[in-house]
Every structure is written in structure tokens, then in C-alpha cells.
Structure 1
Amino acid sequence: MPRPNLGIMTLYLNDRKQIEERSLFQKMTLVGRALGLEVTVFTPEDVNFATNSIQAQIYDVRAKSWKRKRVGFPDAILDRCRYQPTNRFRQLKAFRQRYPNLLYLNRPLANKWNIYLDFVNSKRLAKYQPDTVKVTAGSEVLALLKKYPTVYLKPINGTGGRGIMRIHRLGPSSFQLAGRGMDRRILRRVQLGRSGLLAKLSRLAKTGQYLAQQGIDCTLPDGRVFDFRILIQKNARGDWEWTGGAGRIGRQGSVTSNLHGGGTAAGLDRLLRKCYRQTSKEQRVKQEMAALSFETAAYLEKRYGQLCELALDIAADRNGRIWLLEVNPKPAREVFRKIGEHHTYQTAVKRPLEYALYQINRKKG
């Protein structure tokens, strides 16, 4: 009897057909085999619509190398496709529209702006949202800067800290602008007057692809920014379960904490202790983060459909108030390996595979 098959769907990064997260997919292949689950990797470009077959990539455990093999559609699909402004992303949408009845373990979410609108319409989740506007005119950002000393500009569809900028109000008509380019490179800090800032904001507004968000005061004594990454996942019974949490500390001079942008990882409890130095406050913040994570996952599933895992980027200010900065239904898990929590990392790799088997068995009845 053939083993059940999980297809991991991703996107090519370029015309050379390179894929992201290959090392993760290799680990998932090895763990999957131990569970009795075959794992294949494919992109929408690999699908032959005429024959309903896939020229998939399979990791050959004996040869320790990847090879191509034509296979049928998998029993379940884990979508690991990250947004990119290319035709490849349109091919992904076309695939989902053509095959809506396949067993998808996770459903796509909306962009950051629409997710924010969803959250502010929730009585329970609205209080965790930083004040946010879609940038359609520079005057909207200036209005935010009158209310808050710091405002962040974020691409609506951005990932990994790309294109994020921070505006800090120095005076009534003086501002400091810092950030990262779309290649994650740290941009030189510049000081701008009101007219100079408005000119830059007007260019962003014309794209219709940016939002402006209240800055939360989350900096260490040395000036580095930090936040927390919480990961929850479905388990082998189909229930949400806490997998782990970690802190992320940005490199000196960076406006973001992302590890891909040169940030460092820290243990969740250690960073909380460093921030508050009160055990009672540390525990309260951690418990509230966990409660927020499960409540957010439940809300998103009602709104968008089934999810498999969810990472939440959470800020905690000096008073211990927490803020939900972003959600990611296709999270990386390297942060746990970087802080030495190897068991948590292995759990983070294994749970989606266990959940896949649970869903496949349910479907087969």
C-alpha cells in the first residue's frame, strides 16, 4: 500500500528555478519518512494541466540529493508560497482557482491592510492593533506623526523586513527617516523638513502599496529594536498548540528586528526578564501573548478558512502592554535553532507533517 503523500507548494525565486527553504524541505522529507509520509516539493509551474500531473522535486535520502520525478497530485498540500510581485504569484492564484477541491492544509490570508481592517472590527482583537492608516496621501502620515513620535511605513505585501521605513519626529517640522531597502539593505539615516518628507511620502502614496503604523517603544538600552515571535501549530489531533516563542533583536542601526536583516535571536524568557525584571510582569505578558495567539488563529480561521500554523510578531512596550504587529501563516522556524532550542525546532518541523497525516486519514474516512 503506497504511503500518503504531502506536496509542499512553493514558488521559484528566479528563472534559474531556484527555490527558497530547500534545507527545511529536506528536513521535512526525513521526518515525514519516519512518520510514514512521503514528501514532494513543487511549484505551480511544474504542473501539467492536461494530464493533472506534476514534475515534482523529491529528496533522495540514499543519494542525499534532489531529483525530479513525475507524480500525481498529492493527498494534501502545504502552501509555503511567499508573496512576490511576479507572474509566478499569479500562477499560484490560478492553480488554487483551478483545483479548489484539493486538500489544502492552509489557506492564504489577505494583505496587511485588509488583515488590519479585520482585526479592528473584532471587539476582542482591536485593542492589540497599533493605530494604522493606508498611505494615500502624505498628510495622513503627518497626522499620525502629530499623535505619535515615531511612525513606521510598511509595504502592504512585504515580507522579511523589506522596504520598511521609520519616521521619527525631531521637532514641529523636522523628521529623521531611516529604514531598509527592498533588498533588506540598511538605508542611510537622513533628516528631512516637512516639505522634503511630504515629497517622499507622495511618491509612496502613488503606489498605493504602503501603510503607516504607530511606532511602539520597544528598544533596549543600547537603542536596538526588538520584538517577539510566537509560533502556534496544529498537532496530530488537529488542535492548536503552543510550539514556542523567541525574541528578535535588530542589529545596531536597523529599524527592524528581522533575522534575515541581520538581527539576532534571544530566548523568550530571557528577553522578557531583561525588559521587565519582575517575574510577575514577565509571566503576565507571556500568558497574554499565548492567549492572543490562540484567539487570533481562531478568528482568522473563521474569516479565511483552515490554517496549519501561525506565527505572530508581537511588541511589548515598557508598561507591559502587548501589540500585534503582524501575522504570518507561512513562518520560518530557524529562530528556535538559533537560540539553542533544538527540541522546539524539531517540533516546529514535525507538527505540520503530523497534522497532514491527521487530515489525510480524516478524508479517507
Structure 2
Amino acid sequence: MDLSEKLSSSKQTVVGVLLGPKLIRIILQTKQSIDRIQQLVEANKEANTNLNFFSRKDINLASRTVSGTFFNFSGNRWERRTMPLPDVIYVRGGSGQKVAKLITTLERMGVKRINPIVAFNKGNLFEELIRDQEVSPYIPATVSVKEMAEIRTMIRKHEKVYVKARIGRKGTKVMRIEKLSAGGYRYSYSILGDLVRKKVQSMQRLEQVINRFFGGREVIVQQAIDLARVDRGRLCDFRAEVQRNKKGEIEIVGISIRVGQRNSPITTHGEAFRYDTYLSTLFPDYSEAQLVTLKQKINSFLMTVYAGVEKKYGKFGEIGIDFAVDRQGKIWLIECNAQSAKVSIGKAYGELARRAFLNPLEYAKLIAGGGIRTSRGSGSSGSQSASGSSRTTGSRSASGSSRTTGSESASGSSRTTGSRSASGSSRTTGSRSASGSSRTTGSRSASGSSRTTGSRSASGSSRTTGSRSASGSSRTTGSQSASGSSRTTGSESASGSSRTTGSRSASGSSTSGSTRTSGAPRTSGGSSGRRSNS
């Protein structure tokens, strides 16, 4: 019996986790695993996959084998073994062209992948998303730099800007530039937690600093966001871990609030706090109702961005979404991460962050069995669901015998706000809840026999942008469906405006699906904050 036959007989999904060669050496030489690696190993006790770790150099394409590193629980040690190519590859290290080429080659050989790309090119990503009318309101002014004059123009126009490498991780190639009222410019950046903050008097000198720092890399320049701050000016932003679970449904697994070091231009390498308990600290003047509304907008924003990214690149098993809320309460997209290190969620939520490591392994089992298409460019038929038959549970029904099958509350409160049934026999399915108030908002059924599945519905010949159902016996399925000749444009927008986002559905071909907000944000309790690297 060859290796492939042995593997087939085990009936376990083989998941290969691609790491950098240095990390593999550390594991083998010290026999110790880095925290995020150990978290995957622990999560696999429940997922029960055949989990192996290897680097690009450990793969033999000719023999279709890899030299994999795995943790032997019976012997309580790390070991090596030769095994066939995995069923699914999960990239957790490396973002260069060699890695990207390898993953493409493995895909042609039948290996599935958690994400359709290895890393986002920030320039390409923003160029695509700015053309998406649902996502563009969240994007700050951004220019892909072809010549230094474009940076000069952005500084003159906005006075405060960020220059970022188009490809980079952990904030290592990000520079903040501020035009000073007294003349000259201040620039700052952080290298693995070490802050550099200096002034120059001329634009010519600033250009020299930029060229030296980025070393010929392609960059973008963005308008600086007026970030919310705490503790005498420390910048704050957010990292959301958004993933598909074992059913292919999208979950907002956790949201961390990251607080940067004093005077640091970035929040990476600062502290991380629980979103559900720290949001009131970040916005102390907000009432409970305002905090609930903000959480609703954040949830909608995250689903809108996830959908926008999938329209371009195909289905993702996970995306780390960095975003900001400015001092006026407006939400801004900072960037998307195809390889989130999950440091912030781990620091902020501790053991409650375990789901962020379990979901990718469970999702790997789904795609290995052909439960969902993952090839690049396959797109997303719906903004929030991996498949039409998926269903999530969690939100409470409003009254009578109604049943709400939708996402769970992201606020940690038992009170729900979102899609609820207003009649005895109606059933609502799909809308997101970010509760904290007993007052219900969202889609409601206005008749005794109607059944709504998804967000809001409309009937007749009107075009819907979030109106409530008023029909007697209509049945709608998906994110905003319509009957008759009506046209729907998706689920509600995060900004509260009439623009809509999400999957589109027309009469006779409704789509169904739901989102789920679960995991760490659902729990309440005292906040904990530790240093964060992502």
C-alpha cells in the first residue's frame, strides 16, 4: 500500500500548514512551538484532521510528497515524516512570488486552499474596492504612487498622510507624514516596536527619507484618518477576524481594539482589548443606544468588505480586516490581511479566541469534501453565505412561535436588535444582530402568514433598498428579495443610508443564507489588554 492509499484509508482530511523555513527549524531544534502554532495543534483535537507543518523547501513536486512536521501527542513531541501532498493547504508564512507560484502549482495538482491568494497587494486591493459602490464609502483617499509628485500632492491636500508598501506585514513598511504649521514635516514609523519620530525642514529632504525607508518598493499614499484616541493621544484601531466555519457560513469570530504606543503612527505592537467591553472606553460620550448602533454599523461594514473582496478574488476561508472609527464615528477600512497572525484576538480574548484557530481546520474539511468552490475568481454569489443551504442559529425570536435563525449578538448582551418576527407564525432567518437594547429594529413581517428569510423584503414593482415587508402571503428568501418585477440590491448598508450591500436577488431566483457573529465578541466581562503584533 503506497502513501496515498494509506492516507485514503485513514479518512482524515490532510491539512498542510505552510510556514517559513526558519519557523520549521525553530520547532525541530527546540522541540517547542510558537503560540499560534500550538493553538492550531490544540484546535485540531476537535477538528481531527491530519495536521502537518512544512516549508516551501520541504515539498517534492516530482514525487508528490512533503517532509511534514507534526506533533505526536502520544510521545508529546514534534516529529518528521514523509507524506503525500495535503488535501488542503493553509498558508501561514511567506508572501513572495516563490510562495505564490508554489501554491498555484499545488492547486493545479488538486490541492485545495483556504484562501485564494497568499497576500493582498494593497494598491491592487484598494483600486478594486474603490470601484465597488458598496465598499467605496469606507475607503480613505488613496493613490497608487507612480512618482514622488503624487505624494507631494497628497501632503499638500490632506496635511497628514500614510505612505505604505503595497505588500507588507506587521506594520514594518508604514510611514506617517505630517505637514507642520510652523514649517517642515514630521515623519514617524515603527520597526518591530521601535519607534522612529523625526523632523525635516524641506520636501526634498523628506523625499530622500521616503526613498531610503522604502528602498525602491512600490507604495501607496493615503489620507490619514482622524483616529479615535485614548490615554493622552494613543491611536486606536480595530482588527476583526472574519472566517467561514465548518458549514461555510461567515462568522465575525472576534474584534479587538488595538491601542498604539504613545506617539506611534501605528497600533501594531501596542495593546489589544476586548471590543465588547472597551468600546465604551473609546467613546465615553456615547449612550448605550449609540454604542448599539455603532456595533450594528461595524458588523454590516465587515460583511460588506468581505463580500467586496470575494467579488474580486474568490471565496476566502478567513480575512483579517483592519479598520478604524474616527472621532466623528465614521468607519474606515485600513487594510485586509490574507494571513492574519491572530495575535490581537489572542491577547484580548485569551482562551475565548480558540475558535479563530478551529474554524480554518473545520473549513478545510468542508472544501476537501467538495462542499464549496475555492478556486480563484469563482466569486461570491452572496455577500454573506458560502452556500444557499447554509443556516446559522443564535438570535432570539420576538414573540409567539416565531423562529429566528440568524447571527448571534456581537455585543455580549442578551438583548437583541435585528431581524425579528412580529407575528405569531412568521419565521425570520438571516439578519445580523448586534444587540444591547430590547427594542427591535430591522426586518419585520407585517402579516400573519408571511415568511421572511433574510433581511428585508418588498413586493409589487418597486425597487427595494431596505423597506419592510407589507405583503400578505409573500415569501422572501435571501438578502432582500423582491417579488413581481421588483429588483433588489442587497442587504442594508453599514452607514445607514439607502445604499445597499450584499447579495442581489430577483423574483423566482431568491437566494438564502445567513451570517453569524459569534465566538469571542459574544462574551462579556472585564477587558484584558496585552501587547499586540497584529
Contact 1:133 1:213 in 2 (8 A): yes
Q: How does 1:231-270 map to 2 (within 5 A)?
A: 231-258=241-268, 261=269, 263-270=270-277
Partner amino acid, structure 2, of 1:40: N
Residue 130 of structure 1 contacts residue 324 of structure 1 at CA under 8 Å; is this kept in 2?
A: yes
Paired with 2:319 and 2:337, the residues of 1 have a C-alpha distance of 6
1:22-66 deviation digits (Å, cap 9, x = unpaired): 432333223223333120111221011221100011111123221
CA distance in 1 between counterparts of 2:148 and 2:104 reads: 37
Q: CA deviation at 1:330?
A: 1.6
TM normalised by structure 2 equals: 0.62
Provide the rounded CA distance (Å) in 1 between the counterparts of 2:213 and 2:92. Answer: 29
Structure 1: runs of 5 or more not aligned: 84-88
Matched, 1:214 2:226: no
2:347 equivalent to 1:338:
yes
The one of 274, 278, 294 equivalent to 1:285 is 294
Q: Tell me how far 1:204 sits from its aligned partner.
A: 6.4
The answer to whether structure 1 residue 28 and structure 2 residue 40 are counterparts is yes
The alpha-carbon deviation at position 110 of structure 1 amounts to 3.7
CA distance in 2, matches of 1:147, 1:21: 48
Does the residue aligned with 2:278 lie in a helix, a strand or coil?
A: helix
Match of 1:49 in 2: 61
- Distance in 2 between residues matched to 1:156 and 1:241, nearest whole Å: 28
- The one-letter code matched in structure 2 to 1:361 is G
Tell me the TM-score normalised to structure 1 length: 0.89
Residues 115/18 of structure 1: CA separation in 2 closer, same or farther (3 Å cut): farther
1:165 pairs with 2:142: no
Distance in 1 between residues matched to 2:76 and 2:36, nearest whole Å: 14
Shift of 1:202: 5.3
Q: Tell me which residue corresponds to 1:86.
A: none
Against the structure 1 CA distance between its residues 47 and 187, is the aligned structure 2 distance closer, same or farther, given a 3 Å change threshold?
Answer: same
Q: Give the equivalent residue in structure 2 for 1:229.
A: 239
User: Is the counterpart of residue 90 in structure 1 residue 101 in structure 2?
Assistant: no
Q: Structure 2 residue aligned with 1:66, among 66, 78, 92? A: 78
| 1:339 to 1:98, Cα distance in 2 relative to 1, 3 A | closer
User: Which structure would you say has the larger RCO, counting Cα contacts within 8 Å and 6 or more residues apart?
Assistant: 1
Task: State yes or no: 1:127 paired with 2:137.
Answer: yes
- % identity of equivalent residues: 24
Report the counterpart of residue 295 of structure 1 in structure 2.
304
Where structure 2 has 5 or more consecutive residues not aligned to the other structure, the ranges are: 1-8, 373-534
- Give the whole-Å Cα distance in 2 for the aligned partners of 1:207 and 1:310: 28
Distance 1:106 1:49, change over 3 A: same
Say which SS state the counterpart of residue 75 (structure 2) adopts. Answer: coil
- CA–CA separation in structure 2 for the residues paired with 1:325 and 1:294: 15
Within-5 A mapping of 1:78-227: 78-83=90-95, 89-99=96-106, 100=108, 101-108=110-117, 109-171=119-181, 173-181=183-191, 183-201=192-210, 207-218=216-227, 219-227=229-237
Contact 1:154 1:212 in 2 (8 A): yes
The structure whose residues are more often helix, as a share, is 1
Q: Give runs of ≥4 in structure 1 deviating > 6 Å.
A: none
* AA of the residue aligned to 1:31: A
* Structure 1 residues 93 and 311: CA distance shift in structure 2, 3 A: closer
Note the alpha carbon deviations across 1:47-104, whole angstroms, 9 max, x for none.
1122110001111112322111000011211122343xxxxx3332332232223111
Distance 1:147 1:90, change over 3 A: closer
Opposite residue 316 of structure 1, the aligned amino acid is V
What is the count of residue pairs matched by the alignment? 353
